Amino acid sequence: MKFLRLLDMFLRNSFSYLIIAFSLCLFAGCEVFNPTEDIPSYIHIDKINLTTTSDQGSSSNKITDAWVYVDDKLIGAFELPATFPVISSGKHLVTIKPGIKVNGISATRAIYPFYTNYSEYKVLVPDSVITINPTLTYNSYTVFEWKEAFEDGGITLQQTIHSDTSIYQTSDTAKVFEGVYSGVINLDANHGYCQIETTGLFTDLPTGDSPVFLEINYKTNEVIKVGLIANYSSQLQKLDILYLNKSTTWNKIYINLKTAVNTASNPLNFQVYLEAYKSSENATAELLFDNFKLVHN
């Protein structure tokens, strides 16, 4: 009986202690039920710049996103400009990879394989913002299969036998993107269709998983079709890729050619082509271009 009385007293006291402890947690903010949250550090990226050498052509780019890694772990892909939290403090390796909209489509964002990455140790401070605006270059392995900036005496684009107009150089400052010249195609009632192809024949475009891109600066009041021509010994194959939508301001696009290149079955070579019609809504049409670059590794 004495043992039972002692046990009952112990249980009563233990229950009281639990009630007291629980009450203290409610009023004092007990660590067990509400642990202290980590205070994030912040990184701000306004833009990512590009610098080029003379043999790489224009530094014009449309890097829209930053893919950010801390100590080789992906933090996220952020549309620029961006300020974002990082749950780290102290010295860490921050890597920023340049992101683009492949074929100009927001749903197909990816790291551009021909630009370098930014990588540097940074000190992250909780509840503080550090700003990083990297300047990148083309990767050393980038092959510039074709470039056309319209700055030389002749241009490497010509009209096909089906076209009723061609592409010309213009020095009109209202129409030039950068430098002294840009390329222009004019369409009107007497010249309503253009089909333009490269004068060069590209024999070294890689197949398989190797990336192949066409970069273009453009401004147009008509829709323009862009594609590849695969040439065989006795025939050719047109490989339509995409349409450039109308743009009242200069735009830049990165066109993925890999699928088209892989679609062709052992052609002798490739050419890039452009095609457009004058629509009924325009009395005249003006298609402006600059800085064509066909790149691969």
pLDDT in tens, 103-146: 999 999 999 999 999 999 999 999 999 999 999 999 999 999 99
Rounded CA separation 115/207 (Å): 20
| Last-in-domain residue among 87, 111, 136 | 136
2 pLDDT more than 70: no
| Last-in-domain residue among 136, 157, 176 | 136
Which amino acid is residue 52, in one-letter code?
T
**pLDDT averaged over every residue in the chain:** 90
> Which whole number is the average pLDDT over 138-163?
97
Q: Which domain holds residue 245?
A: 143-296
Q: pLDDT, tens digit, for every residue of 162-186?
A: 999 999 999 999 999 999 999 999 9
- Number of domains comprising the chain: 2
Residues 96 and 215 reside in one and the same domain = no
pLDDT of residue 151: 97
> Which whole number is the average pLDDT over 228-257?
97
Residues 269 and 152 reside in one and the same domain = yes
Q: What is the CATH number of the domain that holds 150?
A: 2.60.120.200
- Does residue 5 sit within a domain? no
